[in-house]
């Protein structure tokens, strides 16, 4: 499915912010500020390739709003990424950090590239040059990147090292999602998927679904999807299907997620297709496998790949009772209405996948104070913040009789408006 043929993503987020600001009587001076991104940097920079050629890449770093603290948001490496998508993702980060009430604003970055086609040395040179290009914006007190699609802890390590070289001393808090041995946090690698599981548990309770034996389908088996599948399996769920960009695998008795991870990391070459512990989905065709997965009868569906996967064209086929949005923006606005009309409980991205930014916040705090916590402490904190945020959103959902996405936006927009009004307008 082509994701970015038109500039729609930021418009969709803005329309929702606009409508909900209207319903809530949010002051006009706050609403208009949220309709634009505060800072947008586009960079075109050269990278020497292994064969001696020089290629020019385009990258972005966008800060949507930093009223509540330094801006925070991942960096995406993807061949189809466009500025509009980065703006939309930055705005979602503003909302997300406000929903879980951590002292951050929202940002996002990206480079148009296909990391699968780059060697490690090319990826390193690209990352280091992009870091210098966006160093106008990033810093531990101003704007703090993290991993997203196509980036990982190693990429964060190169960013941290490059930024530190410019300063002349180590600055671990300039990025989060770093490897443990250079100031990463326990629990960060799996935090987003772990957070999805905490949310799935709370949502299942609302729907009176027993998680023990509940059936789950997961789209995407990268950082978020694989950790969500692993934590949901540990919680007693039966993960019956997993699909990624190359295909899908199905087992009605439940896939062995640890074996699937081993397969993906080894023989599978990064993908799930061909896994012996399940049947191939979609007759081996990746698009059909993903369509089949989204329409499977199951208790919980976790879209954890990319945006615009559940659309007006396929929403009617979704048979899950709960959708936990592991990805950012996986459901289009039209599809969202269809799912709600079908009585499906959709837990929106700004709440469901906030576990990553919560533990990123904990990593940043640990880096700033050079004092590190163990995994139990980090996970307890994560569980507490996610549960508090879910309960707050649920409370608004019940009181105001609105869906969970609207309720989450209401929580976030109230906090953002309060911060903006308290700070006032400079000068």
Residues that bind ligand NAD (CB under 6 A): 1, 147-150, 192, 219-225, 243-245, 290, 304-306, 326-328, 353, 356
Of 359, 354, 356, 360, nearest to 412 (Cα)? 354
Of 328, 16, 394, nearest to 196 (Cα)? 328
CB nearer to ligand NAD: pick between 10 and 221: 221
Q: How far is the CB of 304 from ligand NAD (least distance, A)?
A: 5
CB nearer to ligand NAD: pick between 107 and 306: 306
Q: How far is the CB of 208 from ligand NAD (least distance, A)?
A: 28
Contacts of 341 (CB under 8 A, 6+ apart): none
Of 72, 96, 108, 392, the catalytic one is 108
Calpha distance 109→40 (Å, rounded): 10
Cis peptide preceding 23, ω within 30 of 0: no
CB nearer to ligand NAD: pick between 272 and 410: 272
Told to judge if 108 belongs to the known catalytic residues of this protein, a careful annotator would answer yes
CB nearer to ligand NAD: pick between 26 and 305: 305
Calpha distance 274→54 (Å, rounded): 37
Q: How far is the CB of 330 from ligand NAD (least distance, A)?
A: 7
Report whether 409 contacts 390 (CB < 8 A): no
Output DSSP code: residue 25.
T
For the chain, the first-to-last Cα distance in angstroms comes to 46
Q: How far is the CB of 240 from ligand NAD (least distance, A)?
A: 17
CB nearer to ligand NAD: pick between 68 and 78: 78
Of 223, 228, 233, 224, nearest to 197 (Cα)? 228
The tokens describing 415, both together, are 């906090």
Calpha distance 249→280 (Å, rounded): 5
Q: Which residue is nearest to ligand NAD (CB)?
A: 222
The catalytic site residues sit at 108
């Amino acid at each position: 499915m082509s994701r970015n043929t038109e500039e729609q993503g930021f418009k969709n987020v803005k329309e929702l912010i606009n409508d909900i600001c209207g319903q809530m009587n949010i002051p006009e001076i706050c609403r208009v500020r949220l309709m634009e991104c505060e800072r947008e940097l586009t960079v075109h920079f050269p990278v020497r390739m292994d064969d001696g050629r020089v290629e020019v890449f385009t990258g972005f770093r966008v800060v949507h709003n930093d009223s509540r603290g330094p801006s925070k948001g991942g960096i995406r490496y993807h061949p189809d990424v466009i500025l509009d998508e980065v703006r939309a993702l930055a705005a979602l980060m503003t909302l997300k950090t406000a929903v879980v009430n951590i002292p951050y604003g929202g940002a996002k970055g990206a480079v148009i590239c296909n990391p699968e086609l780059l060697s490690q040395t090319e990826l390193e040179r690209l990352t280091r040059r992009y870091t210098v290009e966006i160093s106008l914006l990033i810093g531990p007190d101003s704007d703090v990147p993290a991993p997203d699609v196509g980036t990982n802890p190693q990429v964060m390590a190169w960013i941290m090292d490059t930024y530190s070289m410019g300063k002349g001393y180590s600055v671990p808090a300039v990025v989060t999602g770093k490897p443990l041995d250079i100031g990463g946090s326990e629990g960060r690698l799996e935090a987003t998927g772990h957070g999805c599981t905490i949310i799935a548990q709370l949502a299942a309770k609302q729907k009176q679904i027993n998680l023990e034996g509940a059936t789950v389908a997961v789209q995407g088996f990268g950082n978020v999807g694989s950790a969500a599948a692993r934590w949901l399996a540990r919680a007693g769920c039966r993960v019956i299907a997993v699909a990624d960009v190359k295909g899908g695998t199905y087992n009605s008795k439940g896939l062995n997620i640890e074996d699937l991870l081993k397969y993906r990391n080894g023989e599978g070459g990064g993908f799930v297709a061909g896994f012996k512990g399940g049947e191939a989905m979609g007759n081996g065709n990746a698009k059909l496998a993903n369509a089949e997965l989204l329409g499977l009868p199951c208790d919980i569906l976790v879209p954890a790949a990319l945006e615009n996967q559940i659309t007006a064209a396929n929403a009617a086929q979704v048979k899950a009772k709960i959708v936990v949005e592991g990805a950012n923006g996986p459901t289009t606005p039209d599809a969202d209405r269809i799912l709600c009309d079908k009585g499906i409980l959709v837990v929106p991205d700004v709440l469901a996948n906030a576990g990553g930014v919560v533990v990123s916040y904990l990593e940043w705090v640990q880096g700033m104070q050079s004092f590190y916590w163990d995994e139990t402490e980090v996970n307890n904190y994560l569980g507490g913040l996610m549960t508090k945020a879910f309960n707050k959103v649920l409370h608004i959902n019940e009181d105001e009789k609105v869906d969970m996405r609207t309720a989450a936006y209401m929580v976030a927009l109230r906090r953002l408006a309060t911060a903006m009004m308290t700070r006032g307008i400079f000068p």
